[in-house]
Amino acid sequence: MNDDFNEVGKGMTAARSLGQAKGEPPRLSWRAHVHANNEQSAYRTLNRLSDLLNEEVEVQSVKRNEKFRESFVLSFWTQVPDAAVDAVVLHILLVCQRVASGWTVTGPIIHDAESWEFDLVCPEGLGRHFRVSGVFWISVSFRMYPN
């Protein structure tokens, strides 16, 4: 880690995440692409993801993928602890490992020293394993704001 990263991180907590209003509990924004012939099958996959995460899932949308008609895109949120940055990042990494292995992590992307954004992506491919059948691509986004 470079010194800039350590300096900016002091005093930051997980106050809110992408798509979230100020004052709401922090959460992860998930987007999963799954093989499914119909909406009912897509919801079954979402239920299996929820069971695996062992966390409450707030569904944002379940939509057929327009480019690949045999798949759906699941968008949902899960909560994260409102804690120090290092505890939140560790929590995110552990939760993501429950779903898949072989994640690519980017971040922090610093926005005008006001917020950090982290993105994790796990596409289907060599060395990657999804623990829920039907999932072939998944991403997670999280944004942190200073106190």
- Amino acid present at 15: A
**CB of 35 within 8 A of CB of 71?**
yes
Q: How far is CA 20 from CA 15, 38, 81, 97, 119, in A?
A: 10, 29, 15, 24, 16
pLDDT attached to residue 21: 52
Look at the chain and report how many structural domains it folds into: 1
pLDDT attached to residue 10: 36
> By residue range, what is the domain housing residue 80?
3-146
Q: How far is CA 34 from CA 49, 71, 114, in A?
A: 11, 5, 34
Q: What is the pLDDT of residues 3-58, one digit of tens each?
A: 333 333 333 333 334 445 555 667 889 999 999 999 999 999 999 999 999 888 99
Structure letter (DSSP) for residue 125: S
Q: What is the pLDDT of residues 39-48, one digit of tens each?
A: 999 999 999 9
pLDDT attached to residue 6: 31
Say whether the peptide bond before residue 123 is cis (omega within 30 degrees of 0). no
